[in-house]
Structure 1
Amino acid sequence: MTGTVLVLATRGSKLALKQAAITSELITAAHPDVTIKIRTVKTTGDKDRRPFTEIGGKGLFTSEVEREVAEGRAHLAVHSAKDLTAAIGPGCTIAAVPPRERVEDVIVGGSGSAMDRLSSLPAGARVGTSSIRRRALLAEARGDLECVEFRGNLDTRLRKIAEGEVDAALLAAAGIARLGSWDDADPAPLDPTWWVPPPGQGALAIEARADDTEVLALLGALDDPAARATLEVERAFSQRLEGSCSVPLGCFAQVDGDRLVVTGYIGHPSGTNAIRDRISGGLRDARAIGVELAEAIIAGGGDDILDELGGEPDR
C-alpha cells in the first residue's frame, strides 16, 4: 500500500487523540509509506453528561466512531477496548490489538498503598467514580464511604481532587499512563485479582471493515498475540454474561507461558454480594475459557445477581 493515506476515526478527547497518535505511530513504524489522517467524531457519551446508567448501556463512546468505518468514511478506528459493545459493529472486525497498557484500577488521593489509602479514608469520605463496577467494589470494601458521580477528562478529575471536591477518586491506570500523568496523579494500583478491572481495560482495539483485506493485512503487523488472547477471553466472559453498564462485572486475564489465568467477578451495587472465580487454560482456547469462567460465575450465584439487575445471561 505504498503512498496510501488511511483515515483513522476516533473520539476527540485528549485520551482518545493520544490513543490515535499511538496507533498512527505503530502503523507508520511498520509501514513508513503510509500516511494517517485523523477524523474526530463526537459520540453520545461525549454529548450526554448524565450518569452512564441513565444514558443506557455500552457503546456510548464507540457506536458513532464504528459507523464511520462501516459506512466507508474511515478505513479504521481505535477504541478503548473496555468501551466496545459485546457485538462489534456490522461489517467490522477487531483487526489488531497492540501490546496492552496497565490494566488495574487505581485510587488517587492520599498516600501509601491502595489498601492504606482505602483504609485511612474517614467514614463518609467522598470518592469519585462514574462506574457501577467501582461503586460495587467500593461498597464491598468500605460501605461507609460516599460515592460521587465523577466524569470529565483526567485533568478535570485531578483538579477536582486537588480542590477537595472529593477526598479520593477511582480511575483506570491505563489512561493516566498513556497521558504521561503518573507522577502528577500519584496513583496507587489496586490488586486486579480482587479489585477486578472491566473486560478490556488497558487494551486498544483497532477496528476495520471485515472485507477490507488490504487494511486488515496492513494492521496485522500491529497485533500482539498476548494482548489479543487476554482481550478475547475477557470479551467472551462479558458476552456470556451480557455485560452492560447496569451490571458490576470484571474480568482480568494474564498470560503465563502458554496458558491463560483468568479471574472473573460479578457484584451487587450494594456491595452485599460479590462472586469471584479463577480458572486457567491454554492460550489457544481463549474464548472457551472466558465462557467456562462465566458459567462458573453463574453457577456460583451470579444468576441471582443478573436476574435482579435485569442482565440475565443469554441461555
Structure 2
Amino acid sequence: MGLTIGEKSLFTKELETALEKNEVDLVVHSLKDLPTTLPPGFTIGAVLKRENPHDAVVLHPKNMGKSLDTLPDKSVIGTSSLRRAAQLKKRFPHLEFKDIRGNLNTRLKKLDEKDDFSAIILAAAGLRRMGWDSRVSQILGPEDCMYAVGQGALAIEVRARDEDILEMVSVLHDPNTVLRCIAERAFLRRLEGGCSVPVAVHTEVKDSQLYLTGAVYSLDGSDSLKETMQTSIVEEQVDERVQRVGVTANNMPGPAQDAAEKLGLDLANLLLSKGAKEILTVARQLNDAR
C-alpha cells in the first residue's frame, strides 16, 4: 500500500512512522520534500522520470495575456519560496513579492477570489499532475528562475532492509533523473541548505555528460553566487545496494552515481570557497527573524 503526500511538514513524519511499523510498505513523496539525509532505516528506492522541473506563473484572470515582464509596477506576486522570491526580485525589480501559503487548491482560490495577488508562482509539475495545465501562463526558464533540488521528481521511500520491496520498485528508476537528483541532493547537503535558505539548481544530461548549475542567494537576491560544472557519466558495472544522499538505485551503474554525487559536492565546495556559507547564514538568520 502506498500513500501520497503534498505538505511535507504535516505528513512526512506520520508516513515514516507508518513505514516503520510495517503498516505500509512504500510511501510516495515529491522528492523536493525529502531531506538529503533520511532517518536511519529508510531509503529512496525509486526516483521516477522527472516532470518539467521549472516554475510556472499563474496569473490572476484579470491579467490574462500578460507576463512577469509586462505586469504593471508594484504588482504583487505570491510565492512561499525564498528561492523563487530571491531570484525573481533580482530579475523583475518592478514587482513585489509576498508570502502565500496552503496547498495548490488554496493558493489558486486566494489568487482568483481576491485582488491581493496579480500572479502566483507554482511548480509546473504540480499543476500538471492536478490537470491544471491550462492555468500556466508562463514557464520560467533557468535564466529567470532556477528550480529547487529534486523539483518535478516523485520518490518512493521504503524500508532500507526490505530487499524484496527495493528490488520491486527499482524498475521504476529513471536513470537520467536519478543522476541529476543525486548531484542536486549532494550539492544541497554539502551546503547544509534546506527550505529555509535560497538554493537553486539546474541540471541536464547530454552526450554522456552531466551538467550541474548551482546557486545561492541572499533573501533579496542582491547577493548571489552561481557556477556550472560537468562530469562524465559512463555506463559501467551495475551497483548493489549503496545509498547516496538517501537514494538506493539498484540496477544502475555505480561509477555514474559516484560521479554524480562527486559533482554535487565539488560544485558546493567551489561556491563555499567563494563565500556561499556567509550568504546562506545571513539569509537563514534574516528568515528566522521574520
TM-score by length of 2: 0.83
Hey, what does 1:10 align to over in structure 2? 4
Selected match of 2:125 from 161, 174, 179:
174
Selected match of 2:47 from 97, 103, 108:
97
The change in CA–CA distance for 1:132 and 1:310 in structure 2 (over 3 A counts) is closer
Hey, what does 2:15 align to over in structure 1? 65
Asked if residue 303 in structure 1 is aligned to residue 284 in structure 2, the reply is: no
Q: AA paired with 1:198?
A: A
Question: Structure 2: where are the runs of 5+ without partners?
Answer: 234-255, 286-290
Cα deviations by residue, 1:36-90 (Å, 9 ceiling, x for unpaired): xxxxxxx6734xxxxxxxxxxxxxx523222221232210111100011121122
Aligned residue pairs, count: 257
Match runs of 1:119-134 below 5 Å: 119-134=69-84
Paired with 2:148 and 2:124, the residues of 1 have a C-alpha distance of: 12
How far residue 282 of structure 1 moved from its aligned partner, in angstroms, is 1.9
Identify the range of structure 1 (70-79 vs 203-212) with the bigger mean alpha-carbon deviation: 70-79
Could you list the structure 1 runs, at least 4 aligned residues long, displaced by more than 4 angstroms after superposition: none
Match runs of 1:1-315 below 5 Å: 7-11=1-5, 16=6, 45-46=9-10, 61-109=11-59, 110-111=63-64, 117-163=67-113, 164-183=115-134, 185-283=135-233, 284=256, 285-310=259-284
How far residue 276 of structure 1 moved from its aligned partner, in angstroms, is 1.2
Paired with 1:173 and 1:281, the residues of 2 have a C-alpha distance of: 28
Q: Is residue 125–residue 146 contact of structure 1 (8 Å, CA) maintained in 2? A: yes
Q: AA paired with 1:10?
A: T
Paired with 2:155 and 2:218, the residues of 1 have a C-alpha distance of: 28
Aligned to 1:117, what secondary structure does the other structure show? Answer: coil
Q: AA paired with 1:91?
A: G
Aligned to 2:275, what secondary structure does the other structure show? Answer: helix
Query: Which structure has the higher relative contact order (CA within 8 Å, separation 6+)?
Result: 2
Cα deviations by residue, 1:166-213 (Å, 9 ceiling, x for unpaired): 101111000011111101x13311112551101000011111111001
Percent identity, aligned pairs only, is 37
Q: AA paired with 1:280?
A: Q
Identify the range of structure 1 (154-163 vs 119-128) with the bigger mean alpha-carbon deviation: 154-163
The change in CA–CA distance for 1:281 and 1:44 in structure 2 (over 3 A counts) is closer
Paired with 2:33 and 2:55, the residues of 1 have a C-alpha distance of: 15
Paired with 2:19 and 2:158, the residues of 1 have a C-alpha distance of: 6
Q: AA paired with 2:43?
A: T
The change in CA–CA distance for 1:258 and 1:199 in structure 2 (over 3 A counts) is same
Q: AA paired with 2:97?
A: C
Q: Is residue 237–residue 291 contact of structure 1 (8 Å, CA) maintained in 2? A: yes
Q: AA paired with 1:304?
A: E
Question: Structure 1: where are the runs of 5+ without partners?
Answer: 1-6, 17-42, 47-60
Paired with 2:107 and 2:284, the residues of 1 have a C-alpha distance of: 31
The change in CA–CA distance for 1:230 and 1:108 in structure 2 (over 3 A counts) is same
Q: AA paired with 1:265?
A: A
Cα deviations by residue, 1:211-244 (Å, 9 ceiling, x for unpaired): 0011011101111111111110110010001112
The change in CA–CA distance for 1:254 and 1:111 in structure 2 (over 3 A counts) is farther
Paired with 2:72 and 2:139, the residues of 1 have a C-alpha distance of: 20
Q: Is residue 77–residue 207 contact of structure 1 (8 Å, CA) maintained in 2? A: yes
TM-score by length of 1: 0.76
